A = this chain, B = another copy of it.
């Protein structure tokens, strides 16, 4: 088989539990298809749907699974390879053999799926499906269930969504092992960046080396690399700048290991041998925020409170260097931190780097009692709910000096009782700093994932010093 699986029982018991949680009806879990890049047959690298992987495991195109909760029957739909497939793509085990590996007895040709669903819908049965994020699956559902795409988008099963989130949020020991591996590969990607950056290099040259590490380990990237001298642009995927001495490089990069579990780490380091004084001051503030947040990680703690505490720590540090004035806690209450930290402190991580984001952030990261805020900064916090053992998440504070945002706030004199706008000018071209680690919530606290990756100023400068001295 060209993909890895957990032992059969893993999938059997996950599906059994899912059936219990959903209670009745037909559960449909669709696999993904190849996605066209610049024409139908030049595809992006195949990525299976994460929920399909979780319950049915098969890491290939052209498959879907049905769980009939009422009868207990499970069916995997897919076709055995014909001679054309063998010539172009190679041999595969039969569908029956592959289904057997994940504990499913019944298989049927893929073409039967539409008919089965049309009939089930016609006879009034509830068909539970997840929100389709790929248009190919949206179009199939629209055809099979004979509803316009808008109705299909609105018609996903909230009961299924909540049940899948409940299961996937609590990582099993095997999943924790896979994430440990993914984060360690991710750490190697960052070691490579820290060891090989040199002034004069293009961002894409360094990014190509970072990417190589994930692929050479038998995996891939869990998201497009952010590797930039403009760290204040949060999701920057432009790599055309030249690294200059005096600048910092922000690298936000993670590996997806061979079973598709993600890592997601960020480090920021000087292009030259040392941080400037200004850079070091801000760096230490971000690092202190990361440490304070990390210390709070434990079951029962709301992540929205961790976020607030991390923001308070950022403002405390910014006060010490004269950019913020007043009480840090009050500043956070008023939203003053969002001039510097416009996004959220972290998110769930697992088979997706933003785990289960396709199922809806409000269900993954919040509860009926705790809704997501809608105001600037807070609206970008993907996780707010009380932490539970088995949750896996990132913590990634940062300080981002965004000239357009600074100008906009200053023009409005926004929160002027908290912000020293005059002092801020010296940071107009500062760019940004982010530091990010990944954690498992345990019964009594947390576990930091992956091999040790330096984040202290001295450690990072020592690595840069050693490498650049070797180059000289």
- Which residues of chain A have a CB within 8 Å of any CB of chain B? 2, 35-47, 49-50, 83, 86-91, 133-136, 138-139, 149, 202, 204-205, 207-209, 211-216, 218, 223-224, 230, 233-238, 240, 342, 351-354, 356-358, 400, 402, 404-405, 408
Which 3 residue pairs spanning A and B have beta carbons closest together?
Answer: A135-B135, A208-B215, A39-B358
A87 & B405 in contact (Cβ 8 Å cutoff)? yes
Shortest distance between the CB of A49 and any CB in chain B (Å): 7
Q: Which residues of B contact A134 (CB under 8 A)?
A: 36, 135
What are 25 of the A-B contact pairs (CB < 8 Å)? A38-B47, A38-B133, A39-B133, A41-B357, A42-B223, A42-B354, A43-B224, A45-B224, A83-B408, A86-B233, A87-B234, A87-B400, A87-B405, A88-B234, A89-B233, A134-B135, A135-B139, A138-B139, A139-B149, A204-B215, A207-B215, A208-B214, A209-B216, A211-B211, A211-B215
Alpha-carbon distance between A42 and B216 when the two chains are bound, in angstroms: 22
Known: A44-B44, A408-B83. A39 touches B354 (CB 8 A): yes
A133 & B40 in contact (Cβ 8 Å cutoff)? yes
Q: Which residues of B contact A354 (CB under 8 A)?
A: 39, 41-42
A233 & B357 in contact (Cβ 8 Å cutoff)? no
Q: Which residues of B contact A224 (CB under 8 A)?
A: 43, 45
Q: Which residues of B contact A230 (CB under 8 A)?
A: 90
B358 & A38 in contact (Cβ 8 Å cutoff)? yes
Q: Which residues of B contact A212 (CB under 8 A)?
A: 208-209, 211-212
Q: Which residues of B contact A205 (CB under 8 A)?
A: 216
Q: Which residues of B contact A223 (CB under 8 A)?
A: 42
Given contacts A42-B352, A139-B139, A204-B218, 10 further A-B contacts (CB under 8 A): A2-B240, A39-B354, A44-B44, A86-B405, A87-B233, A87-B400, A89-B235, A208-B214, A211-B211, A211-B215
Of B37, B50, B404, B405, the residue contacting A44 (CB under 8 A) is B37
Q: Which residues of B contact A408 (CB under 8 A)?
A: 83
Shortest distance between the CB of A415 and any CB in chain B (Å): 16
Alpha-carbon distance between A311 and B266 when the two chains are bound, in angstroms: 54
Of B2, B86, B400, the residue contacting A402 (CB under 8 A) is B86
Alpha-carbon distance between A149 and B138 when the two chains are bound, in angstroms: 12
Known: A35-B44, A133-B39, A133-B40. A87 touches B236 (CB 8 A): no
Alpha-carbon distance between A149 and B135 when the two chains are bound, in angstroms: 12
- Chain B residue, CB-CB nearest to A408: B83
B86 & A404 in contact (Cβ 8 Å cutoff)? yes
